[in-house]
Amino acid sequence: MSLDQEIAAPGRKPKLADLVIGTLRKRIGAGEYGASGKLPTESQMTSIFGVSRTVVREAIAALAADGLVQPRQGAGVFVVANAAAPFNAIGADRSNKISVAINVLEVRMGIEIESAGLAALRRSASQEAAIQEAWNEFDRLMKLGTPTGKTDFAFHRAIAAATNNPFYIEVLDGLGSRTIPCDVASPWGTESVLTFEYQAGLQQEHLAILKAISAQDAEAAREAMRQHLSLSQERYRQRLREQSTANQE
């Protein structure tokens, strides 16, 4: 069966990288490569899938971001067997990225509101500094006009780390690049362009969380995180409404 026949969805033409990602997900899930097994080489995959090396690299980067595979320099790409695997299977269908983003935010609200409160109570000086550094880096990249998704994720991950409960980090790592789906560099990206104003608004929301954690005010940290994620949910719902209206026209 060809790549297109294996996973192409009716009514839409997926990106080549998405086709490769979907096929590899299915084969990994079916145990074709085995736990911690090695994937075909980059050269072999270009031949197997009939795509360029750039497409293969994009697909591997997406799977690595989701914690499914791990590239090892000089050795190849290997399937990862870890606790994040159940999360990676969630939302594997990318046919509606905005609805996936809304679902992910709902999960995050159940986790990150409390993690912010715990971080305020438990954070060390170095952990507070890591949160501040992530905020600063987001600010720097935003002003340069470059993708901010990785630093956005780093900000939330630093808060999870400051709870000193490793399971908060495991959940975020399990969600992987879906945690920040609005970023144009993410394989789960929902936006073609992120405006400066949009990102500046996110930064103000992040700043309220940062200030509350720095002040060791647990309730303020929870409320700031609740406000940030609630506003993010509403932003995605608005996009979904706009998408539905456009499809009806």
**pTM for the full model?**
0.61
Amino acid (1-letter code) at residue 23: T
Element containing residue 146 per DSSP (H, E) = none
Task: Write down which residue in 49, 82, 115 finishes a domain.
Answer: 82
Domain of residue 100 covers: 96-248
* Beta bridge mates, 78: 38, 70
Q: Please provide residue 78's backbone torsions phi and psi, each rounded to the nearest 5 degrees.
A: -125, 145
Closest CA to 101 of 183, 158, 29: 183
SS3 at position 72: strand
Q: What is the pLDDT of residue 247?
A: 62
The answer to whether residues 237 and 129 belong to one domain is yes
Q: Residue 76, by phi and psi: left (phi above 0), alpha (psi -120 to 50) or beta?
A: left
Q: Which residues pair with 76 in a beta bridge?
A: 72
Q: Does residue 184 fall inside a structural domain?
A: yes
> Which residues, 6+ apart, have CB-to-CB distance to 248 below 8 Å?
none
Asked whether residue 236 is domain-assigned, the answer is yes
Question: Which of 51, 82, 113 delimits the end of a domain?
Answer: 82
Tens of pLDDT, residues 153-207: 889 999 999 999 988 888 887 776 566 655 444 444 445 446 788 889 999 999 9
Write out the two tokens for 102: 């809304």
Q: Please name which of 149, 170, 151, 152 lies closest in space to residue 161, comparing C-alpha atoms.
A: 170
Residue 89 lies in a domain: no
Claim to verify: residue 131 and residue 241 sit in the same structural domain:
yes
62/104 same-domain check:
no
91: in domain: no
Copy the structure tokens of residue 107.
């999960």
Question: What CATH number corresponds to the domain at position 65?
Answer: 1.10.10.10
Within 10 A of 16 (CB to CB), how many other CB atoms are there?
19
pLDDT digit string (tens) for the chain, length 249 residues: 445 444 444 444 557 888 898 888 888 777 787 656 889 999 999 999 999 999 999 889 888 877 788 888 888 898 886 534 555 554 444 445 666 777 788 888 999 999 999 999 999 999 999 999 999 999 999 999 888 888 888 899 999 999 999 888 888 877 765 666 554 444 444 454 467 888 899 999 999 999 999 999 999 999 999 999 999 888 878 877 776 676 665
Phi, psi of 83 (to 5 degrees): -70, -15
Q: In this structure, are 151 and 236 located in the same domain?
A: yes
Specify whether 134 is located in the same domain as 58: no
Residues 54 and 114 in one domain: no
CATH number of the structural domain spanning residue 165: 1.20.120.530
How many domains would you assign to the chain?
A: 2
In a shared domain, residues 127 and 76: no
The answer to whether residues 229 and 106 belong to one domain is yes
- 53 in the same domain as 154: no
The H-or-E segment that residue 59 falls in is helix 53-65
Domain end among 82, 111, 143: 82
Kindly state whether residues 103 and 207 are assigned to the same domain. Answer: yes
| Same domain as 163, residue 102 | yes
